[in-house]
Amino acid sequence: MKESKKLMIGFGIVGVLCLCAAGIAYFAFRQVGERVSNFIEGDPTSIAKSQDEIAKFDIPPGYRPMAMSFLNYSMVSLFPEGDSSGMTIMMIQYTGMTAASQEQMEEQLRQTAEQQSGQPGVSMRVVDTYEEVIRGETVTVTVSEGSYESFVMRQWMAIFKGNKGPTILMIQGPTSQWDDQLVEDFIRSIE
């Protein structure tokens, strides 16, 4: 066979392989896009699955949910409809088996929650700690505050036992829009 024919056959094979890879990548990215879209839209199936994994709870009136699971984490976020400056509620559960101590798992959950919801440039300081009962378990609540632009941000954080592992409950928002009754009602709704 001539050298040029071998090159043409080689280029043809490489071209076909590239087309196949491009087709597979297209369908894979399309699937990922649909899943991300479901997350952003607050897909009821994802929310129900996260409630089964974490804990059953009532969605407060005027809030829209979003949920997702990735690696060993399940997460549900509740956002005020139409007003991004209100209080945000998040629950993140770690379901992976690990040799880490309870304190190490709790610290990992805190770091994950802060990365998911923290406002850049906000330095939070602890202003209060107290006991609260969540799902029949007495837990420690840590309340932190920090200045951000023209307002003060409050963060309420506790770790409780979810259905499949330790779960962090974090509520944050501007102190001017803080609603203690909404917090209490939400905590009581967690089963």
Residue 165 placed within a domain: yes
CATH number at residue 138: 3.40.1000.10
Q: Is residue 166 a contact partner of residue 109, using CB atoms and an 8 Å limit?
A: yes
Instruction: Give the C-alpha separation, 76 to 65, whole Å.
Output: 7
Residue 151 placed within a domain: yes
Residue 7 placed within a domain: no
What pLDDT, on the 0 to 100 scale, is given for residue 165? 83
Instruction: Give the C-alpha separation, 125 to 152, whole Å.
Output: 11
As a whole-number percent, the residues of the chain with pLDDT over 90 amount to 29
Q: Using one digit for the tens of pLDDT, what is the confidence trace for 111-166?
A: 665 565 555 556 788 999 999 999 999 999 999 998 877 888 899 999 899 998 88
Residue 17 placed within a domain: no
Ranked by mean pLDDT, the top range of 29-38, 69-78, 99-108 is 69-78
* Higher pLDDT among residues 22 and 104, named by residue: 104
Per the structure, the count of domains in the chain is 1
Give the model's confidence band at 4: pLDDT under 50 very low, under 70 low, under 90 confident, else very high. low
Q: Which two tokens stand for residue 44?
A: 């009821």
Give the model's confidence band at 15: pLDDT under 50 very low, under 70 low, under 90 confident, else very high. very low
The CA-to-CA distance between both ends of the chain, in Å, stands at 74
Residues comprising the chain, all counted: 191
Instruction: Give the C-alpha separation, 128 to 85, whole Å.
Output: 23
Instruction: Give the C-alpha separation, 48 to 51, whole Å.
Output: 5
As a whole-number percent, the residues of the chain with pLDDT over 70 amount to 62
pTM of the model: 0.69
Ranked by mean pLDDT, the top range of 27-31, 33-37, 111-115 is 111-115
Residue 110 structural domain:
42-189
Q: Using one digit for the tens of pLDDT, what is the confidence trace for 65-101?
A: 888 877 777 888 899 987 567 899 999 887 765 555 6
Residue 51 placed within a domain: yes
Residue 130 placed within a domain: yes
